[in-house]
Chains A and B, each alone.
Chain A
Amino acid sequence: MAQTTFDGSPVGVLEALRQLRRQAASYQGIWSWIATVDHKRIGIMYGITAFLFFLAGGVEALAIRLQLARPGAQVLDQEVYNQMFTMHGTTMIFLVVMPLSAAFFNLIVPLQIGARDVAFPRLNAFSYWTFLMGGIFLYSSIFFGGAPNGGWFGYAPLTEKAFNPGHGIDFWALGLQILGISSLASGFNFIVTILNMRAPGMSLLRMPVFTWMTLVTSFLIIFAMPVLAVGLFELSFDRLFGANFFNPLKGGTPLLWQHLFWLFGHPEVYILILPAMGIVSEVLPTFARKPLFGYPFVVFSGIAIAFMSFGVWVHHMYTTGLGPVANSAFGVSTILIAVPTGVKIFNWLGTLWGGDIRFKTPLLFALGFITMFVVGGLTGVTHSMVPSDYQQQDTYYVVAHFHQVLFGGAIFALFAGIYYWFPKFTGKLLDERLGQLHFWLMLIGFNVTFQPMMILGLLGMPRRIQTYPTGMGWDLWNMIATVGAFLIALSVLVFIINVIITARRGQRAGADPWDGRTLEWSIPSPVPPYNFARIPLVRARDDFWHQKYREDEAGRPIPVVAGGAHQEHEEEHAQHIHMPSPSFFPLIAAMGFPIIAYGFVLADYALVAAGAVVLLFGIYGWALEPASE
């Protein structure tokens, strides 16, 4: 270890931390996780944390459905109801789908490109801890007079202090700010990792599609998040320091908030769905035993979606009176963005066509994704039509649409990914029968929940109402939707049981249980800390498949003798691999953010200063610590 001296600052504390860190390298238990910079461990922590938030968001959804099951019910009062749907939306988007995607970025991307870790391992740990701190901060609002209650889009001036006193919205605005920092940090990290850390021969157009979609999503994150940050800062300055950005009495306009929010918000939709599309593009070829049909089209349509996603935001604002020109222009751009999305769907169908299909759980979830996403996408096209959207605006039809995309789409694909890659990181296969039960229960539950909402929306039931009178023709459909929601909950329970049973006595998985195509299947399960004993040399797209199979004249795969077998003496070679050392500083730096945020919410500026000191201490300790020993 390169001994460095850091004098002239709180030497004692820093030295103690160094000491801790040296020990951390040899720690086994919880400390080795807290100080870890290993992308696989960080990915697992992301996944577990996001799943816990998924359960919280799910309980909120069940509470909402219980309240709406019958007309005139009083399960939740209006204030609590508002908090429930706000926290449900905010949780599912920022604390579930985004971090679950981040879990897969972490777990899979370095393996798919043949790298030993991400470009900035400590920044990666910082992303995770900041996400955790942001989530805890947001949920701690419950103990400070109530959770946020302004909807996940927090429309100003409804969220201004005058109309929404209390701390809820402050927690929301600052909590999202913290989560934004986490996303930005991982965005930079994964772009650099994917562009710079590829194994020899892994050209851009040989990269697996999931890695491609991670790259595209990361670009969306770094360009969309700062716009949200400005909107949130303006809202926070209005609420905390009496600025006028959304104060109508001084000429402030609600449209400014909506433009900033949706200029972030629509790319955000693709931040949520592109990783899911990437997962499906990995699962389908593996279980159809065919290469992905039209690989360049899948990649370039993903890029096209990313570009176009910054030009469609006004379709969230048709009814705000921007006029026919703006509405028509954005209507056209919204119709156009369906084209690259449709291209992908045809490519997936083409991948399955003529394939040697094995209906394992990951494939079932991927197929569930495609079918549900098509319905979601088509209902989205009906929103792009301005006159039609005028009718649907703020009805349950919209609620049904985006759940069709984000649950039927993103969550199904994420479960496909969980079943697909679970053996890679645990060494055990999830139980197939329970997996299929999970899938069918979830698919049925999903449709029983959300298809009635389409009808409810067309019958005129508005969003975000706490209750409704009987005799509107909504009673039956609401009751059915509630039953469906509990079916979904049951399916999640089956999944949890599956994980527990698998952990106890699951079937051992070898390195390559699915006969996979990409590099992650060429290394042992669970993956050793250094990933690759030898950095692979990549000669083709789906390189690992080509090591295992050659083609006969008819294009059928023929196994190569001992193809893809592991080199011997790997362990011996691996002893000489230097991995980045663990560090506590990312966690310390991340802890600064919620302290600063509490200070602002409670107008306690000593606390702000204390948080800033913690943050700076973390950053300086980080910058000055030796990177490897």
Chain B
Amino acid sequence: MAQRTHAVEHLETSTGLDNRKLAMWLFLASEALFFGSLIATYLLYRGQSTEGPYPSDVFNIPFTSVSSFILLMSSTTMALAVGAAHRGRLHQMRTWLLCTALLGISFLAGQAFEFTEFVHKGLTLSTNLFGSSFYLLTGFHGAHVSVGVLILLSLWVMALRGRIGQHNALNVELAGLYWHFVDIVWILIFTLVYLLDPLAEGR
């Protein structure tokens, strides 16, 4: 098991940080440049589309606000799961893990609905620069949420089988780090992609 590596081999490290936790932070730092480049592409092409539909034609801000709220709430349940894991309250931990996964799935369902709506309104990947940069950015974010859901469900199944406990709460904590990062990226995306235009136009 992975946690045995943790317990046996890396009891102490030169920095005192756990190997896997350090690796996760480095991975997230790298991901920051990945999303940074995607966001930069979106901002570069903002307002550059030569034909519609334009953002104001398709965005449904109230709807996306609700799905954004759902995703942010999932960070709360994730934090509760991590806390419960550290305190050894395994029943609570399982509940919060499942809650987080379900909230993530709700967000993804919202995104799927939104994408379908946009396609019906005539916005596809190849319609214009907005379509290309919007779908690539939010699509990759959605892919990250999906991976997160997969990790959470895997942890939940493992926890049900009694393979996640206080001694290896780090597994939950690492999933938490990843999940919070993906949420933070969404805050940026929601602000820069959905809210910037209405704010700039004073709507």
Q: Which residues of A contact B (CB under 8 A)?
A: 2, 4, 8, 119-120, 184, 187-189, 191-192, 195-198, 202, 222-227, 229-231, 233-234, 237-238, 241-245, 250-253, 256, 260, 263, 578, 580, 620, 623-624, 626-628
Instruction: Provide the bound-state CA to CA distance between A580 and B131, in Å.
Output: 48
B4 engages A627 (CB within 8 Å):
yes
Minimum C-beta distance from A297 to chain B (A): 24
Known contacts A184-B30, A244-B126: A195-B14 contact under CB 8 Å = yes
B136 engages A222 (CB within 8 Å):
no
Q: Name B28-61 residues within 8 Å CB distance of A.
A: 29-31, 33-34, 37-38, 41, 44-45, 48-51
Q: Name B144-169 residues within 8 Å CB distance of A.
A: 154, 157, 163
Q: Name B109-135 residues within 8 Å CB distance of A.
A: 125-126, 128-129, 131-133, 135
Instruction: Provide the bound-state CA to CA distance between A518 and B19, in Å.
Output: 25
Instruction: Provide the bound-state CA to CA distance between A339 and B97, in Å.
Output: 52
Quick one: which of A222, A242, A245, A627 contacts B133, CB cutoff 8 A?
A245
Nearest chain A residue, comparing its CB with the CB of B125: A243
| Known pairs A119-B10, A222-B30, A626-B4 / 8 extra A-B pairs, C-beta < 8 Å | A120-B19, A196-B13, A196-B22, A222-B26, A243-B125, A243-B136, A250-B50, A623-B2
A222 engages B4 (CB within 8 Å):
no
Minimum C-beta distance from B3 to chain A (A): 9
B19 engages A196 (CB within 8 Å):
yes
Known contacts A226-B34, A237-B125: A188-B41 contact under CB 8 Å = no
Instruction: Provide the bound-state CA to CA distance between A626 and B23, in Å.
Output: 20
A243 engages B2 (CB within 8 Å):
no
A195 proximity list for chain B (CB < 8 A)? 13-15, 17, 22
Instruction: Provide the bound-state CA to CA distance between A620 and B10, in Å.
Output: 22
Which of A225, A250, A252 is packed against the most chain B CB atoms within 10 Å?
A: A250
The 8 A-B pairs with the shortest beta carbon distances in the complex, nearest first, are A226-B34, A230-B37, A242-B126, A196-B13, A243-B132, A627-B5, A222-B30, A226-B33
B69 proximity list for chain A (CB < 8 A)? none
- Tell yes or no: B199 within 8 A of A by CB: no
- Tell yes or no: B9 within 8 A of A by CB: yes
Minimum C-beta distance from A538 to chain B (A): 11
A192 engages B19 (CB within 8 Å):
yes
A231 engages B37 (CB within 8 Å):
yes
Nearest chain A residue, comparing its CB with the CB of B21: A192
- Tell yes or no: B63 within 8 A of A by CB: no
Nearest chain A residue, comparing its CB with the CB of B8: A628
B interface, size bucket: 35 or more
Known contacts A230-B41, A237-B132, A244-B129: A198-B30 contact under CB 8 Å = no
A196 engages B8 (CB within 8 Å):
no
Q: Which residues of B contact A (CB under 8 A)?
A: 1-2, 4-5, 8-10, 13-15, 17, 19, 22-23, 26-27, 29-31, 33-34, 37-38, 41, 44-45, 48-51, 125-126, 128-129, 131-133, 135-136, 140, 154, 157, 163
A222 engages B29 (CB within 8 Å):
yes
A241 proximity list for chain B (CB < 8 A)? 125-126
Instruction: Provide the bound-state CA to CA distance between A227 and B33, in Å.
Output: 6
Instruction: Provide the bound-state CA to CA distance between A297 and B26, in Å.
Output: 26
B163 proximity list for chain A (CB < 8 A)? 4
Instruction: Provide the bound-state CA to CA distance between A626 and B129, in Å.
Output: 48
Quick one: which of B15, B31, B132 contacts A244, CB cutoff 8 A?
B132
B132 engages A245 (CB within 8 Å):
yes
B126 engages A120 (CB within 8 Å):
no
Minimum C-beta distance from A254 to chain B (A): 12
B29 proximity list for chain A (CB < 8 A)? 222-223
A-B contacts, 20 listed (Cβ < 8 Å): A4-B163, A184-B30, A188-B26, A195-B13, A195-B22, A196-B19, A202-B14, A223-B29, A230-B41, A233-B136, A245-B132, A251-B48, A251-B50, A256-B41, A256-B44, A620-B154, A623-B2, A627-B2, A627-B5, A628-B5
Known contacts A226-B30, A242-B125: A2-B44 contact under CB 8 Å = no
Known contacts A226-B33, A250-B50, A256-B41: A197-B14 contact under CB 8 Å = yes
B1 proximity list for chain A (CB < 8 A)? 2, 4, 624, 626-627
Instruction: Provide the bound-state CA to CA distance between A231 and B132, in Å.
Output: 13
Instruction: Provide the bound-state CA to CA distance between A226 and B14, in Å.
Output: 28
Which of A195, A237, A244 is packed against the most chain B CB atoms within 10 Å?
A: A244
Quick one: which of B5, B30, B41 contacts A225, CB cutoff 8 A?
B30
Instruction: Provide the bound-state CA to CA distance between A8 and B160, in Å.
Output: 13
Instruction: Provide the bound-state CA to CA distance between A348 and B132, in Å.
Output: 50
Nearest chain A residue, comparing its CB with the CB of B151: A623
Quick one: which of B2, B30, B41 contacts A245, CB cutoff 8 A?
B41
A250 engages B128 (CB within 8 Å):
yes
Minimum C-beta distance from A394 to chain B (A): 25
Minimum C-beta distance from A348 to chain B (A): 29
Quick one: which of B5, B34, B48, B133 contacts A229, CB cutoff 8 A?
B34
Nearest chain B residue, comparing its CB with the CB of A224: B33
A191 proximity list for chain B (CB < 8 A)? 22, 26
B8 proximity list for chain A (CB < 8 A)? 578, 627-628
Which of A2, A120, A229, A230 is packed against the most chain B CB atoms within 10 Å?
A: A230
Instruction: Provide the bound-state CA to CA distance between A241 and B51, in Å.
Output: 19
Minimum C-beta distance from A504 to chain B (A): 39
Instruction: Provide the bound-state CA to CA distance between A202 and B1, in Å.
Output: 30
A623 proximity list for chain B (CB < 8 A)? 2, 154
B23 engages A226 (CB within 8 Å):
no
B4 engages A244 (CB within 8 Å):
no
Minimum C-beta distance from B123 to chain A (A): 12
Quick one: which of A230, A250, A624, A626 contacts B38, CB cutoff 8 A?
A230
A243 engages B34 (CB within 8 Å):
no
Nearest chain B residue, comparing its CB with the CB of A237: B136
Minimum C-beta distance from B76 to chain A (A): 26
B23 engages A119 (CB within 8 Å):
yes
A196 engages B41 (CB within 8 Å):
no
Nearest chain A residue, comparing its CB with the CB of B39: A230
A188 engages B23 (CB within 8 Å):
yes
A198 proximity list for chain B (CB < 8 A)? 14
A230 engages B133 (CB within 8 Å):
no
Known contacts A120-B23, A251-B48: A227-B132 contact under CB 8 Å = no
B26 proximity list for chain A (CB < 8 A)? 187-188, 191-192, 222
Minimum C-beta distance from A150 to chain B (A): 20
Instruction: Provide the bound-state CA to CA distance between A484 and B13, in Å.
Output: 51
Instruction: Provide the bound-state CA to CA distance between A119 and B14, in Å.
Output: 12
Instruction: Provide the bound-state CA to CA distance between A245 and B4, in Å.
Output: 47
A578 proximity list for chain B (CB < 8 A)? 8-9
Nearest chain A residue, comparing its CB with the CB of B1: A626
